[in-house]
Amino acid sequence: PYPTPSAHHPVAPYGTPRPRRRLPALVVLPLVLFGGLFFGGSYAVSPEPDVEVQAGIGFAAVGGRGVLLSPYERHGTRGMYQLMAQDLFQVRLAATDTATGELLWDVQLSDDLMGEAAVLAAGERYAYVATDAGLVVVDLADGSTVAGGEGIKGLGPAAVAARWAYRYDPDGRRVVVMSESGSVLAIALDSAAATPVDPQAAATWAGALSERALPDTRPSTVTAAGVRDGEVELRPLPGGAPGRVLVRTAPGGAEAQVGDTAFHAAALVADGTAAAGFATGHVLVVHGRAVDDRARVLSAVSLATGAVTGSVDLDSAAVGRSASRADGAAAVGIGSHVVLLTPDGRLTARAVGTADFFGNPS
């Protein structure tokens, strides 16, 4: 008498809309907000890493461009992302175009806590960097490591993990190295293989190479240094007035004051026993801004006229060892900058070790 009811529920004429699922959005949104605050907030409140250019800077040429090679140490990270993705302590090498300041590449050499590095020499293809972990041969095109430490052919397990075991021989255009057994080998420029040297060369270089720290007898700043045809010296002003002036002494002993500028708490930047930059007709003077001002300044001074041809403010009192190029240009690392003296007497400060949000060199 009654029809059997359908097993299916009746469907509304236009269909019943399904309820929206809001649970995933409620879960994801707090995570996104937390991630933004965690990573972005940590970046905002943490300081920039400490960067200091090390003493062993050098010049090279890449594709016809003049390049400055700057080893530097980087301590610390900024933000949680860098803390997770970057080494806390790094020794790096940066290549910068000397004309434009463009960063060509910036590579990590080691993650040692107190590591140091120095550019020994550069050929047409390779640069040779002495580090506390041994010698590293770097491709000038992109900064990649060609060979290093025990990976150097002809050296292998006999490689010494000390930067004092490696020197550059400018006369032979080669890097001389000491093995663990004390034997002396050489690596020709643009080669990554070590070969034994003759007995005379071995005897000459044996005393200059060591597996232990050697005393640094070359000061980075001096009060007197050699220049072309004589010497230049910073001497106190007559009458006890504050400051020092430059005085040039000819080989015969004749003296002449170089300009009238008085420099306070001053020193000359040295390149060995010579004044850095003297081949350009200039010298570099590190000095205070004024008598009672602790701020430091680096100035280029013309040896011909005594005029100050360029000055840059410094962020550190520590002056590294200078390097010179064939055309007379000179560079010196001071704090987180490398200051370049061009042949016309201009000074340009280039920041080293700058990085983006993710810690990548920029």
What pLDDT, in 10s, does the model give residues 50-78? Answer: 889 998 999 999 988 999 999 999 876 55
| Per-residue pLDDT, 291 | 86
| Per-residue pLDDT, 18 | 60
Is pLDDT above 60 for 280?
Answer: yes
Contact status, residue 71 vs residue 56, Cβ threshold 8 Å: yes
Split into its structural domains, the chain has a count of 2
Q: Average pLDDT of 329-353? A: 94
Is pLDDT above 90 for 143?
Answer: yes
- Domain of residue 93: give its range: 50-206
What pLDDT, in 10s, does the model give residues 313-327? Answer: 998 878 888 999 988
Residues 202, 72: one domain?
yes
* pTM given for the model: 0.82
| Per-residue pLDDT, 25 | 59
Residues 71, 192: one domain?
yes
Is pLDDT above 80 for 361?
Answer: no
| Per-residue pLDDT, 111 | 72
Residues 332, 259: one domain?
yes
Q: Is 133 inside a domain boundary?
A: yes
Distance in angstroms (rounded) separating the CA atoms of residues 197 and 268: 38
Residues 272, 318: one domain?
yes
Q: Is 116 inside a domain boundary?
A: yes
Residues 61, 199: one domain?
yes
Q: Is 101 inside a domain boundary?
A: yes
Residues 173, 260: one domain?
no
Residues 320, 238: one domain?
yes
| Per-residue pLDDT, 357 | 60
State percent of the chain over pLDDT 90.
65
**Of the listed ranges 33-42, 229-238, 284-293, the one predicted with least confidence:** 33-42
